[in-house]
Amino acid sequence: MDFIAALGTIIILDLVLAGDNAVVIALAARRLPYNLRKRAIYVGTAGAIIIRILMTIIAAYLLTIPFLQAIGGLLLLPIAIKLLNPSDKNTLTINSEANFLAAVKTIIIADAAMGIDNVLAIAGAAHGNLLLVVLGLLISVPIIVWGSNIIAAYMNRFPLLVTIGASILAYTSGIMIIHDFAIGNIILDFNEYLRYILPVFFIIIVITSPYILRIINNKK
């Protein structure tokens, strides 16, 4: 049950975080002829999955180093907040390609550049279990590519889904800090109940962030 719960968490995180990646894939291949477009998407997606798996394995190893998992957890918190407070700033510019290999290369590079948040979240949620990493990516990435329109439509129709995804990300952030070999021991030595309080506190911060940011902006 723990394995299934962790796998479900990874899939949800990937689906929520990677909505823009599907748009990138479509943009990169849209100038190709229809038969080449589908092939470029499939080949580019396969390459993106391989790169994403390698990045996540490296990230999972790095998170075993003291303090790095806590830092990774803290980095996830603003990502979760940004999910509920989207901005047009700092977006990645994608050029559509008329050449098959160029389109495939653009898909792989763009997915890697935009997938850092996914990699960090998955590495933290998997807690070093590489089977979870691989299964989560193999299941979620094809869903993102082939079902991106459906996913985007449901997220626009039911904003609660985005809130749930951001909450899971906030929870993962707290758990990563608790599981850090150095910081985690210090926190739990101070108070054992912080293993439950910290993730819940992070979830509250993320869920209330739109209201807090609105109040701050109104005061400016």
How far is residue 12's CA from residue 32's CA, in Å, rounded to a whole number? 31
Strand segments (E) across the chain = none
pLDDT tier, 206 (very low <50, low <70, confident <90, very high otherwise): very high
Contact 59, 119 (CB under 8 A): yes
Q: Average pLDDT of the chain?
A: 76
DSSP annotation of 66 reads T
Which of 61-70, 170-179, 201-210 reaches the highest mean pLDDT?
A: 201-210
pLDDT digits (tens, 9 = 90+) for 170-199: 888 888 889 887 888 899 898 889 989 999
Residue 6 CB contacts under 8 Å (≥ 6 apart), including other chains = 125, 126, 127, 129, 132
The lowest-confidence range among 45-59, 105-119, 145-159 is 145-159
Which residue's entry shows tokens 């990937």? 14
Residue 70 CA neighbour count, 13 Å, CB half: 12
> 4-14, pLDDT tens digit by residue?
877 787 777 76
- Tell me if 70 sits within 8 A of 182, measured CB to CB: yes
Task: Give the per-residue pLDDT at 90.
Answer: 45
- Taking the CA atoms of 10, 16, 17 and 22 in sequence, report the sign of the dihedral they define: positive
Cα radius of gyration (the chain) = 18
* Dihedral sign from CA coordinates of 202, 164, 115, 181: positive
d(CA 121, CA 130): 14
